[in-house]
């Protein structure tokens, strides 16, 4: 999608579709009270064109509600689309992001190749972040998952124009960031959307390496021999049931001088990359198993985040690790009751022994070795992302993803990042009492903790491998795939966590 930034009067812009946001400024609490619609633009010509329809009262400016006017009087645009953004006093940049996405999703099935969005103006909307949100929302909305349909019709929006006002430099910076983040989120979605036969661990490694070459990151992709050398017994145990070899993907971003500063942090990003998850010997039910291609969404989020980091260039060293494997049942696969030895935490330390209770609890096994390796490579702060448990969806529904941390200060960086990214995470506990649930009689720990608190016991398992290193765990299983289309985004892979991880990284860059 080509993007342009305009500083013209909206009424003077020649375009196929001019989109403008609207809010309800009425203060009445009566359910049937007539709305008081305000357009978030200073252009009087646009207001005059829309006012006769708005006065009718049918359009209420509810979030992502749309109203289309053809050949609007006094405007050069062929069509005027009014997109609701809710109550006037409550609008945020996150509402703007969705509204911009709604405009693009409205245009796509109608074959409109050009959309012009008027960047909204409101007292509570910071201009640079608002431009960024428009770009993010529009780019994310342009993604569709119908890659392999023989009758696929390219109805993508080819050109996005944004009509801004005020500081040109700030608007240009917002546009640049929005394009980088939106494209990186879509890159992660593209990886997730690929079927298991076309996105094996090896291919995922190739895709990551190609991305790193394009954007100037160092990348190494290792396989079985390297895992054996590193004694990654937990990671290898997951991969052993498949004919496809595993891939240990290591991406490094190191700006000049960043890691040499005294006490400078080194951030470790670790993603679960299970390119297809049958459950192994503890095989999953057949219903919906086809979606298990998305079990590498955490790894894809880390690759997408590294793509953004390479372009935004924060002054902090970042190491991205993706542990990719297939979890398959075969005569070689691990079995319930097996004991595996994880990667040693150092030359003088033995690896933790793990009793395998359920082979479908495999994501935590690959992450255990990935977290250990990130520390050995010098990471001082850790964040991991994984479609780890169905239990997190039971606990939080499909509204928030789960977040866990062993360090309040580190988590506060993430909580602050969410204010910019707009993604929704809810912090859950990792208190020591929960560790009792993963104690094993035969080994140090077991890989499941029973029926209750499943997302928490999975996090407690990972906590065993971070020692005292500040760490955040993101369980994105409930939000990484959407079964239903939204007004602002297609059904399918969401690319959740990319924006939040990037903002977390940037918070350490001073």
Q: How many residues does the chain have?
A: 510
Give the CATH fold of the 183-506 domain.
Aminopeptidase (3.40.630)
Q: What is the pLDDT of residue 27?
A: 82
Domains 2-159 and 183-506 share a fold: no
Alpha-carbon gap, residue 62 to 71, rounded angstroms: 24
Handedness of CA 243, 344, 317, 380 (dihedral sign): positive
Assigned token pair, 228: 């054996």
Alpha-carbon gap, residue 34 to 412, rounded angstroms: 42
Residue ranges of domains in the chain: 2-159, 183-506
364 catalytically annotated: yes
31 catalytically annotated: no
Q: What is the pLDDT of residue 262?
A: 67
Please, what is the Cα angle at 492 between 490 and 496, to 5 degrees? Answer: 90
Q: What is the pLDDT of residue 155?
A: 79
Alpha-carbon gap, residue 53 to 376, rounded angstroms: 64
Alpha-carbon gap, residue 459 to 457, rounded angstroms: 5
Alpha-carbon gap, residue 495 to 297, rounded angstroms: 7
* Nearest Cα residue to 227 out of 364, 355, 321, 306: 321
3-state secondary structure of 176: helix
Q: What is the pLDDT of residue 269?
A: 99
In tens digits, the chain (510 residues) has pLDDT values of 999 999 999 999 999 999 999 999 988 777 777 889 999 998 999 999 999 999 888 899 999 999 999 999 999 999 999 999 999 999 999 999 999 999 999 999 999 999 999 999 999 999 999 999 999 999 999 999 999 999 887 778 999 999 999 999 999 999 999 999 999 999 999 999 999 999 999 999 999 999 999 999 999 999 999 999 999 999 999 999 999 999 999 999 999 877 566 689 999 999 999 999 999 999 999 999 999 999 999 999 999 999 999 999 999 999 999 999 999 999 999 999 999 999 999 777 889 999 999 999 999 999 999 999 999 999 999 999 999 999 999 999 999 999 999 999 999 999 999 999 999 999 999 999 999 999 999 999 999 999 999 999 999 999 999 999 999 999 999 999 999 999 999 999 999 999 999 999 999 997
> Please, what's the b/e burial string for 189-203 (b: 16 or more CB within 10 A of its CB; e: otherwise)?
bbbbbbebeebbbbb
Q: What is the pLDDT of residue 259?
A: 59
Q: What is the pLDDT of residue 261?
A: 66
Q: Which of 97, 317, 364, 463 is catalytic?
A: 364
* Sheet of 401-405, strands arranged across: 218-222, 247-253, 317-327, 266-277, 381-386, 471-475, 401-405, 425-427
Cβ 49 vs Cβ 72: under 8 Å: yes
Q: What is the pLDDT of residue 260?
A: 64
Neighbour count for residue 482 (Cβ, 10 Å): 16
Alpha-carbon gap, residue 74 to 52, rounded angstroms: 13
Q: Which of 284, 291, 427, 435 is catalytic?
A: 284
> What is the signed CA dihedral for 247, 186, 311, 476, rounded to 10 degrees?
-60
Q: If you classify domain 2-159 with CATH, what class do you get?
A: alpha beta
């Amino acid at each position: 999608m080509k993007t342009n930034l305009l500083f013209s009067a909206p009424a003077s812009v020649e375009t196929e579709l001019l989109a403008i946001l609207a809010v309800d400024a009425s203060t009445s609490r009566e359910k049937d009270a007539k709305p008081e619609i305000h357009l978030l633009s200073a252009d009087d010509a646009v207001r005059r064109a829309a006012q006769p329809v708005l006065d009718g009262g049918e359009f209420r400016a509810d979030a992502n509600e749309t109203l289309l006017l053809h050949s609007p009087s006094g405007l050069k645009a062929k069509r005027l689309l009014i997109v609701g953004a809710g109550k006037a006093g409550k609008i945020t940049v996150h509402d703007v992001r969705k509204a911009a996405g709604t405009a693009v999703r409205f245009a796509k099935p109608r074959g409109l190749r050009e959309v012009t969005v008027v960047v909204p103006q409101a007292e509570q909307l910071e201009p640079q972040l608002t431009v960024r949100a428009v770009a993010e929302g529009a780019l994310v909305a342009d993604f569709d998952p119908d890659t392999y349909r023989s009758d696929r019709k390219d109805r993508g929006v080819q050109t996005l124009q944004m009509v801004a006002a005020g500081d040109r430099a700030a608007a240009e910076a917002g546009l640049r960031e929005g394009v980088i983040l939106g494209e990186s989120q879509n890159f992660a979605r593209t990886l997730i959307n690929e079927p298991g036969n076309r996105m094996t661990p090896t291919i995922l490694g190739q895709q990551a390496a190609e991305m790193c070459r394009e954007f100037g990151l160092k990348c190494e992709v290792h396989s079985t021999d390297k895992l054996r050398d590193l004694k990654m017994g937990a990671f290898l145990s997951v991969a052993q049931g498949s004919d496809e070899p595993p891939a240990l993907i290591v991406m490094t971003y190191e700006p000049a001088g960043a890691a040499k500063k005294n006490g400078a942090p080194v951030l470790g990003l670790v993603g679960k990359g299970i390119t297809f998850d049958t459950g192994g010997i503890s095989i999953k039910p057949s219903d919906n198993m086809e979606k298990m291609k998305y079990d590498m969404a955490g790894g894809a989020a880390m690759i997408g985040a590294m793509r953004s980091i390479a372009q935004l260039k924060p002054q902090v060293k970042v190491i991205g690790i993706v542990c990719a494997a297939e979890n398959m049942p075969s005569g070689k696969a691990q079995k319930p009751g097996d004991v595996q030895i994880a990667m040693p935490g150092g030359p003088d330390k033995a690896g933790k022994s793990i009793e395998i209770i359920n082979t479908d609890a495999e994501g935590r096994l690959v992450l255990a070795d990935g977290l250990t390796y990130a520390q050995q490579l010098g990471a001082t702060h850790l964040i991991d992302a994984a479609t780890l448990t169905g239990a997190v969806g039971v606990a939080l529904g499909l509204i928030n993803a789960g977040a866990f941390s062993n360090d309040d200060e580190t988590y506060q960086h993430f909580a602050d990042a969410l204010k910019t990214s707009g993604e929704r995470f809810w912090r859950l506990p990792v208190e020591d009492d929960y560790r009792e649930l993963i104690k094993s009689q035969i080994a140090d720990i077991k890989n499941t903790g029973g029926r209750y608190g499943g997302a928490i016991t999975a996090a407690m398992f990972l906590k065993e491998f971070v020692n005292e290193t500040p760490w955040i765990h993101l369980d994105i299983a409930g939000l990484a795939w959407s079964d239903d289309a939204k007004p602002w985004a297609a059904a399918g892979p969401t690319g959740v966590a990319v924006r939040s991880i990037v903002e977390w990284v940037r918070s350490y860059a001073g």
